[in-house]
């Protein structure tokens, strides 16, 4: 273990305090976390599956771990994950990501929440709700913060932002996070924002709609930026038109939004099976009134649904997980994020899907060690 590189995942795990009573510890915390991530990478989705996988791969594991007392039982894994301080685990996770990607560049960071639906018990029905920061260009989770309900995202988002190194990035958040203090928090990190506006900010939304209604009647007289994209796929045609404006003095209380420079309206015309629907969405931003840039940022935000939430549910069985004891669900969610990041940080000459890489990791010991960054002791 001591031979692992300083910026490795193993070294990140070393910083996590062991919550167990000293003198009664039979299995090393770092080793148990390495086993858990290796097993999840290979297809395990529960503590029982982690134990079964580790029993089968004990000879391989002993190339990298001491395993003084063999493989821990699934109950031992469960107790440990229920006890680990998730904030300390998150700190270790963020430091590992920062070491792995020291420069985020100017990419879009989408912040969005997801509920692990079966993580609530009959006694305490509150399921784990995790707000994640997702780097849309690299498809990497860069941080997360747990809340006890979606409605508490407004409190969790500033706390999450305070932990992130996002200088030069553009942060996108749906309407739940469109709050003046959140805009301030983003600017404090020297980043820009694109925030969705709905009726939770009624006066702001109304002022944008009123401006836009007048604009449609006098397009030639109102300075603006515009762009249009058309997507065709399997009988679906989707046309998006973005109109961007810098007339922020026409908005309701623009001074409360730090560095506010523009707002935009995106109209979507979607035709499926000869039926056409229309949608209009509103945004404010600290970016200039460049319709192409604003539309690209909004489109990038929705990658969090397909490239993170969908992957966790379909490939990692997140919504079916019934871990409910203390911090177990939260900490195991971090293991899923770590595994997903490991897969995406690992580059191959030929592009391979997440499922293919997990299959290869399950079948090929050298490939698994390569993705994990493990070095033989």
Taking only the tens place, the pLDDT of each residue in 253-285 is 999 999 999 999 999 999 988 899 999 999 999
Q: pTM of the prediction?
A: 0.90
pLDDT given for residue 76 in this prediction: 96
What is the C-alpha to C-alpha distance for residues 210 and 368, in angstroms, rounded to an integer?
57
pLDDT given for residue 6 in this prediction: 52
Percent of the chain with pLDDT over 90: 75
The average confidence (pLDDT) of the chain is: 91
- Exposed/middle/buried for residue 261 (C-beta within 10 Å: 0-12, 13-18, 19+): middle
219: Cβ contacts below 8 Å, ≥ 6 apart = none
Residue 132 and residue 308 in contact, taking contact as beta carbons nearer than 8 Å: yes
Taking only the tens place, the pLDDT of each residue in 177-235 is 999 999 999 999 999 999 999 998 999 999 999 999 999 988 888 899 999 999 988 77
For residue 339, give the nearest of 358, 352, 322 by alpha carbon. Answer: 358
What is the C-alpha to C-alpha distance for residues 245 and 211, in angstroms, rounded to an integer?
10
Contacts 24+ apart (CB under 8 A), 120-123: 120/324, 121/324
Taking only the tens place, the pLDDT of each residue in 38-97 is 999 999 999 999 999 999 999 999 999 999 999 999 999 999 999 999 999 999 999 999
Taking only the tens place, the pLDDT of each residue in 286-315 is 999 999 999 999 999 999 999 999 998 888
DSSP β-bridge partners for residue 146? 130
pLDDT given for residue 240 in this prediction: 96
Residue 196 and residue 173 in contact, taking contact as beta carbons nearer than 8 Å: yes
What is the C-alpha to C-alpha distance for residues 215 and 60, in angstroms, rounded to an integer?
67
Residue 291 and residue 268 in contact, taking contact as beta carbons nearer than 8 Å: no
pLDDT given for residue 315 in this prediction: 87
């Amino acid at each position: 273990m001591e031979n692992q590189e300083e910026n490795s995942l193993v070294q990140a795990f070393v910083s996590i305090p062991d919550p167990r009573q000293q003198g009664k510890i039979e299995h090393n915390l770092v080793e148990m976390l390495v086993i858990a991530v290796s097993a999840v990478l290979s297809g395990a989705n529960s503590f029982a599956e982690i134990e079964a996988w580790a029993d089968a791969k004990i000879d391989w594991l002993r190339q990298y771990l001491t395993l003084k007392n063999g493989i821990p039982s699934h109950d031992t894994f469960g107790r440990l994950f229920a006890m680990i301080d998730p904030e300390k685990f998150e700190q270790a996770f963020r430091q590992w990501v920062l070491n792995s990607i020291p420069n985020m560049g100017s990419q879009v960071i989408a912040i969005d929440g997801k509920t692990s639906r079966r993580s609530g018990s009959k006694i305490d029905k509150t399921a784990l709700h995790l707000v994640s920061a997702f780097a849309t260009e690299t498809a990497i989770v860069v941080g997360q913060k747990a809340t006890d309900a979606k409605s508490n995202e407004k409190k969790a988002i500033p706390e999450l932002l305070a932990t992130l190194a996002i200088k030069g990035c553009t942060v996108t958040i749906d309407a739940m996070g469109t709050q003046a203090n959140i805009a301030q928090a983003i600017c404090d990190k020297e980043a820009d924002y694109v925030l969705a506006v709905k009726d939770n900010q009624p006066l702001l939304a109304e002022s944008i709609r009123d401006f836009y209604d007048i604009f449609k009647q006098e397009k030639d007289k109102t300075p603006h930026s515009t762009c249009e994209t058309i997507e065709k796929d399997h009988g679906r045609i989707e046309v998006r038109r973005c109109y961007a404006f810098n007339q922020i003095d026409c908005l309701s209380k623009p001074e409360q939004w730090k560095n506010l420079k523009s707002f935009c309206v995106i109209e979507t015309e979607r035709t499926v099976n000869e039926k056409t629907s229309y949608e209009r969405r509103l945004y404010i931003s600290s970016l200039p009134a460049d319709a192409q840039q604003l539309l690209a940022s909004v489109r990038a935000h929705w990658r969090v649904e397909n490239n993170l939430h969908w992957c966790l549910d379909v490939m990692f069985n997140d919504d079916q997980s019934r871990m409910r004891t203390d911090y177990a669900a939260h900490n195991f969610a971090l293991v899923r994020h770590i595994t997903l990041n490991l897969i995406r940080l690992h580059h191959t000459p030929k592009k391979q899907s997440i499922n293919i890489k997990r299959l290869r990791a399950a079948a090929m010991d050298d490939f698994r060690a390569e993705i994990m960054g493990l070095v033989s002791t």
